[in-house]
Amino acid sequence: MREPIIELLESRQLLAAAPFTVGGSPLVHAEDFRVTTFATGLNYPDGMTVLSDGSLLVATSKPTDAAGYFGAADGQLVRLFDQNGDGVADGSQVLADILPRELTDVRTAGNFVLVTQRR
């Protein structure tokens, strides 16, 4: 019988600085850009598209168990909107709930909304 192999986990730490910066090239003027957080608290957002009214439609996977496990989830389509134009979502609206789990992308084609799922 073989002895089990136990490997040490690699050390991890949160980023101490912003995850990216704008610039790095003389052709890019960083002052022309603003990096903000549009929305927080989304469950595993994987796909998103802009709707005709300027709101953002996001495909998420909402965990169905208390541990928040991604694999035990229902798909959800959430619309985020910025009413005052400050670049931060002022509200959200669930448009579809209890969809197949692990949604990976969302697109629009005319009046249709197309959603893909991981298999």
Burial 3-29 (b: 16+ CB within 10 A, else e): eeeeeeeeeeeeeeeeeeeeeeeeeee
Q: Is residue 113 situated within a structural domain? A: yes
pLDDT per residue over 51-103, tens digit each?
A: 999 999 999 988 887 766 656 788 899 999 999 988 889 999 999 998 887 88
Residue 28 within any structural domain of the chain? no
The maximal CA–CA distance of the chain, rounded, in angstroms, is 66
Q: Is residue 32 included in any domain, yes or no?
A: no
Domain tally for the chain? Answer: 1
- What pLDDT does 4 receive? 65
In a domain, residue 99? The reply is: yes
Which structural domain range is residue 64 located in?
A: 39-117
The C-alpha angle with vertex 74 and arms to 19 and 55, in degrees rounded to 5, equals: 55
Residue-level pLDDT at 27: 86
Per-residue pLDDT, 93 = 94
pTM of the model: 0.69
pLDDT digits (tens, 9 = 90+) for 4-59: 666 665 565 555 666 667 777 888 888 888 777 889 888 888 899 999 999 999 99
Residue 77: inside a domain: yes
**27 occurs within a structural domain:** no
